[in-house]
Amino acid sequence: VETIADLQKEPWMGKRDKAVILLLYGCGLRIGEALGLNLEQTLGLNGDTGSIIITGKGGKQRLVPVLPIIIEAILDYINACPYELANDGPLLIGKRGKRLSARIIQRQMEVLRSRLELLETATPHALRHSFATHLLAGGGDLRTIQELLGHASLSTTQRYTEVDAK
């Protein structure tokens, strides 16, 4: 089965794309939140545990736990990256060493979606919805999911109960 990491010619870029996708699905981040991360925000992560402080919409901050598989993917990408990443600079960079554009990840998802014959709804943002839906289906508390997603209103989070019911 092909993965998003397999779409890049440069192995470090494939590792980067994998880290982005895992941040979107495994942490429920918006694409802008993932791509807005600076290296210093990940320095406290080790192989077993960790969390990152995310600044979401309206400048609202939240603490998001990071699973070991995501930590491993981030560290794998950092170790493979040919650029020296500055602590106060972007974590996720493009081939020219600048902060990664959301369009790159969106394009990679389009290619993967086509190759795997997935629905048009399989987008980077859909991974965030899947994160919430899967937590809810696994017995997650709606208020906790609201906090993890950074929703100001519980009614926004409640949309996922409708999706789960279907």
Q: How far apart are CA 4 and CA 104, in angstroms?
A: 12
Catalytic residue among 60, 95, 160, 166: 160
Catalytic residue among 57, 60, 98, 143: 57
Burial call 33-49: b when 16+ CB within 10 Å, e when fewer: bbbbbbbebbeebeeee
37 closest CA partner among 61, 59, 57, 54: 54
Catalytic residue among 18, 128, 134, 166: 128
128 is a catalytic site residue = yes
Angle between helices 102-115 and 124-137 in degrees, nearest 10: 70
Catalytic residue among 18, 25, 30, 77: 30
62 is a catalytic site residue = no
160 is a catalytic site residue = yes
98 is a catalytic site residue = no
57 is a catalytic site residue = yes
In terms of phi and psi (left: phi > 0; alpha: psi -120 to 50; beta: otherwise), the region of 49 is beta
The size of the chain, in residues, is 166
Catalytic residue among 60, 107, 115, 125: 125
Give the active site residues. 30, 57, 125, 128, 151, 160
